[in-house]
Amino acid sequence: MPKIIITETPEKWNLKFEGVEVVSPSEYFSKPEYQESKAFKIVNLCRSHQYQSLGYYVSLLAEARGHKVLPEISTLQDFRFPSLIKDDAEEFDTLIQNSLKTQQDSKVIINIMFGQVENSQFSRLGVLLFNLFQIPIIQATFMRKDKWQLQGLKPLHLKDLDEANIKKLQEALYYYISGKKVVRKKYSRKKYDLALMVSPDDPTPPSNAKALQKFIAAADKLGFNTEAITKNDFGKLVQFDALFIRETTNVNHYTYRFAKKAEAEGLVVIDDSNSILKCTNKVYLHELLVANKIAVPKSHIIRKDYQQIPADFNYPMVIKQPDGSFSKGVKKVSDEQQLRETLKDLFQKSELLIVQEFVPTAYDWRVGVINKQPLYVCKYYMAQNHWQIVDWKKNGQHREGKSETIAVADAPKALIDTALKATALIGSGLYGVDIKEINGKFYVIEINDNPNIDAGVEDRVIKNGLYTKVMETFIERLQKR
């Protein structure tokens, strides 16, 4: 998707960006190609964004035309109410104190250009403020009384910058447009831009490094420029057409906020926010599956203020934290003492828990589903001398059981039907359904919104075709917009 930088004096901007045009407001307002297509991303660098200025109308018309624009009109309006911005600053007070703790003066002014700052000590603060407020140039003023406080935050414009700062702005703009995490070694114009969200700190990422490279290769063949992004790139979402989240998701987590923001910007998103909301809470999933008559192991929801276990539950039994993932937050208890200790621990994190009958099996089925179609089928065997697929140790290390991948056509029909029926209740995204087989009957354990896809495991049968199918889903949805 073409990117356009709009400024009153494009001839003064010696920008050598691949796939980027620099045009004047009058060109943007009048040229038919900018009026007839929604496929543009706009960076508004006019001299002013004040109400009813030329820059204000650039953002206003861009939104009316369905273009993705930075800054948005709603963001410009927020700066008319400084008290709202100061309230938001309370949420990152610790970062403010840590960033400014070595400053000797009682007043500090920081200019932030597309998230970049001159003093590296303020880098995290600059990225955060840009991600929150998404104005090309922000001036933040901090005052120290009992502690450091955000005194003021205002947008700066080109007319406020001298020649040296204009040069810094161009460098920051280059970083913003191109990024340091562009995966392709040589940029070439393609139809779509894909953000691949990953976390270097995720101890159990849903895809290993080789699988990520295979996703990138598949995306490249289908017409995507792919860029790896992290939690620090919230402000860059406007640049993309699609977002593929390949890190562990949760509702009370930045991955959910990324999904919501991307959807608001019109991106095609996997995992979509609705799937994250539904799949990451086992209480919700349990009620959803039971209400729709999908078989689950015998389960019961218990409350913090009423911890009575039904009489028909026998030891051992399993206690589940609603938002646990990757076998975490799931405990097996063998007697009443273990039960009391486990409930005391888990109820510190949630008002509701799930008690479930313990059903020992040698393996769990996992059916991968994309766009309401089966993608892969695996057997995940229990870790050696353990009752779960993953055996977490107290030191944070873990052991996993072996796995076996089979062709979808060779899997039991009832298994596939159960997985498709269960995921249809969630949506049409990418899911992994964990299922236990007991005496030929299939019971859904949970539905994962960002299932494991690791090179050498889930792709063992259809190889690179797995990655292509996922990317084809993105293409199909983009073409329907």
Are the C-beta atoms of residues 108 and 100 closer than 8 Å to each other?
A: yes
- The answer to whether domain 180-274 and domain 298-357 are alike in fold is no
Confidence (pLDDT) at 364: 92
pLDDT band at 88 (very low <50, low <70, confident <90, very high): low
> What's the mean pLDDT in 315-322?
86
User: CB of 132 within 8 A of CB of 115?
Assistant: no
| Short-list 292, 249, 295, CA closest to 270 | 249
Which residue reads 């009316």 in tokens? 64
How many angstroms from the chain centroid is the CA of residue 43?
A: 23
Residue 326 has pLDDT above 70, yes or no: no
Does pLDDT of 391 surpass 60? no
Torsion of CA 77, 5, 481, 264, to 10 degrees: -30
DSSP at 115: T
Q: What is the DSSP string of 298-343?
A: SEEEEETTB-PPPTT--SSEEEE-TT--TTTTEEEE-SHHHHHHHH
Coil, strand, or helix at residue 367? strand
* Superfamily (CATH H level) for 180-274: Response regulator (3.40.50.2300)
**pLDDT tens, position by position, 15-27:** 667 778 899 999 9
Per DSSP, helices labelled H in 44-151 are 54-64, 73-78, 82-89, 93-100, 123-133
Q: What is the DSSP string of 12-77?
A: G-----TTEEEE-HHHHHH-HHHHH----EEEE--S--STTSHHHHHHHHHHHTT-EEES-HHHHH
Band (pLDDT 50/70/90 cuts) for residue 80 is: low
The pLDDT assigned to 400 comes to 73
What does the domain layout of the chain look like in residue ranges?
Answer: 3-77, 83-162, 180-274, 298-357, 360-448
Confidence of residue 85 (pLDDT cuts 50, 70, 90): low
Strands laid side by side in the 20-23 sheet: 20-23, 3-6, 41-44, 68-70
Q: Residue 212, CB half-sphere, CA atoms under 13 Å: how many?
A: 22
Output the six-digit token pair for 144. 């120290």
pLDDT tens-digit map of 31-61: 999 988 888 889 999 988 887 888 888 998 9
The dotted CATH code for 360-448 is: 3.30.470.20
Axis-axis angle for helices 123-133, 93-100 (nearest 10): 150
Amino acid at 403: S
* Identity of the residue numbered 423: T
Structure tokens at 68: 């993705």
For the full predicted model, state whether its pTM sits above 0.85: no
Alpha carbon distance 242, 260 (integer Å): 12
For 5-17, write each residue's pLDDT tens digit.
999 988 877 766 7
What distance lies between CA 238 and its chain's CA centroid? Answer: 14
Q: If you search the block for the tokens 């993705």, which residue do you land on?
A: 68
Which position has the token pair 């494991």?
452
User: CB of 403 within 8 A of CB of 380?
Assistant: yes
Yes or no: say if 354 and 283 are a contact pair by the CB < 8 Å rule.
yes
Q: Is the pLDDT of residue 86 over 70?
A: no
Nearest to 41 by CA among 135, 177, 138: 177
Topology of domain 298-357, per CATH?
Answer: Dna Ligase; domain 1 (3.30.1490)
One-letter identity of residue 243? L
- Across the strands, what pairs with 226? 194
Helices (H) then strands (E): counts for the chain? 15, 22
- How far, in Å, CA of 130 to CA of 259, rounded? 18
The whole-angstrom distance between residue 118's C-alpha and the CA centroid of its chain comes to 28
Pairwise pLDDT comparison (385 vs 338), residue with the higher score: 338
Write the pLDDT tens digit of every residue in 207-243: 998 999 899 989 989 989 888 898 888 888 988 999 9
Instruction: Evaluate whether 451 touches 366 at the Cβ level (below 8 Å).
Output: yes
| Integer Cα distance of 42 and 29 in angstroms | 13
pLDDT digits (tens, 9 = 90+) for 148-206: 988 888 888 888 888 888 888 888 888 888 764 444 434 445 689 999 999 887 878 89
Domain 3-77 falls in which CATH fold?
Oxidized Rhodanese; domain 1 (3.40.250)
Give me the chain's average pLDDT, please: 86
pLDDT in the model for residue 51: 77
